[in-house]
Amino acid sequence: MKKHMQKLLLALLGSAAVFSGSTAMAATFNDVFQAAAQMNAQAKRSQAKIDDLTEETRRLLNEYKTVLKEVEGLKVYNRQLEKQIGNQEQEMLQLAASIDEVTIIERQITPLMLRMIDGLEQFVELDSPFLLDERRGRVERLREMMDRADVAVSEKFSQVFRAFQIENEYGRTMETYPTTIQIDGIDRKVDILKVGRIALVYQTPDGAETGMFNPGTREYESVDNSYQASVRQGIRMARQQASIDMLSLPVVGAGAAQ
C-alpha cells in the first residue's frame, strides 16, 4: 500500500514540474501533499480496520475451537451417561425381580414362623418347668412382634430363631434361682437347681428339705437326705461360689418318666 502511494506521488510531482511554473508548482505541491496525507490517513484507517477484522477473526476462531472441544467432551459424557443409564435400567429390572422373589418368600416364611412359635410354646409347656415366666414371656413377645408392621421379616425370623437357640442352650447350662413351687399342695419357697435338662431339683433355703421334679407325674417330690449335700454344692457351683465338680443328683429314668 505504501509503495503504491509513493509511485502515485512521484507521478503527480513529475506532471506538476512539466506543466507549471514556480508559483503554480508550489500550489500544486501543497495539493499533492494534502492528497497524499489524506490517502495515507485513509490507508491507516483501512489497515486499522483490517487489523481489527483479523483480530476478531482470530478470536472467533479460538472460540469456535473451544466450542468444538466442549461439544466433543459432551459427546463423550453423553455416551458414558447412556452406558450408566443402561446399567441402571438393568439393575432396576433385577431389583424388581428380587422384590417379587422376596414377596413370595415373605408369604411363605410368615406362616412358617407362626408355626415355629406355636411349636416353641408347646415345647415350653411340655418341658421341665424351669424359668417358666422368662420362657413364656419370650414366646409372648414373639407373638406381639409378629403383629408389628414396623419390624422387617428378616428381623422377625432372626428373633424366632434366637428363641430356639436359647432353648437349645438351656440343655447345656447349670442355673439356680429362687422361686415358689407347690409341694403336696403347699406353696414353698425354694432354690431351684437346673443341670441342663438332666436334672431339675430344689432345696429349701434352710437346707432341711431336698427334692426333684418328676417329669412322669409333672410334680415336685421330696427325696431322701442323701442328696442334701450334693444339691447344696450344686447350687453353690451355679452361683459361682464353688468350683465345678462331680455331683450326685436324683434323676428319673426314661421308663419311669413315661
Grid coordinates of 183: 409341694
State the Cα–Cα distance between residues 213 and 201, nearest whole angstrom.
6
pLDDT at res. 232: 94
Taking the whole predicted model, whether its pTM rises above 0.75 is answered as: no
Burial readout 27-54 (b: 16 or more C-beta within 10 A, e: otherwise): ebeeebeeebeeeeeeeeeeeeeeeeee
Alpha helix positions (H), 127-227: 132-146, 153-170
Cβ-contact 189, 182 below 8 angstroms:
no
Residues 6 or more apart whose CB falls under 8 angstroms from that of 145 comprise 151, 156, 159
| Residue 245 or residue 117, greater confidence | 117
pLDDT at res. 231: 94
Instruction: Give the residue-averaged pLDDT of 211-230.
Output: 91
pLDDT at res. 146: 94
Instruction: Give the residue-averaged pLDDT of 180-200.
Output: 91
Number of H helices, E strands in the chain: 6, 5
Instruction: Look at residue 247 and tell me whether its pLDDT is greater than 90.
Output: no
Residue (of 244, 239, 173) closest to 203 by Cα position: 239
Grid coordinates of 242: 464353688
- Helix, strand, coil in percent for the chain, rounding step 5: 65, 15, 20
Instruction: Look at residue 256 and tell me whether its pLDDT is greater than 50.
Output: no
Cβ-contact 83, 130 below 8 angstroms:
no
pLDDT at res. 2: 47
Instruction: Give the residue-averaged pLDDT of 100-113.
Output: 79
Instruction: Give the pLDDT band (50/70/90) at residue 20.
Output: very low
Cβ-contact 220, 183 below 8 angstroms:
yes
| Residue 139 or residue 252, greater confidence | 139
State the Cα–Cα distance between residues 63 and 56, nearest whole angstrom.
10
Instruction: Look at residue 9 and tell me whether its pLDDT is greater than 60.
Output: no
Instruction: Look at residue 101 and tell me whether its pLDDT is greater than 50.
Output: yes
Instruction: Give the pLDDT band (50/70/90) at residue 47.
Output: confident
Burial (0-12, 13-18, 19+ Cβ within 10 Å), 83: exposed
Instruction: Give the residue-averaged pLDDT of 96-121.
Output: 82
Q: Which segments of 156-244 are extended strands (E)?
A: 174-183, 186-195, 199-203, 210-214, 219-222
Residues forming a β-bridge with 188 = 181
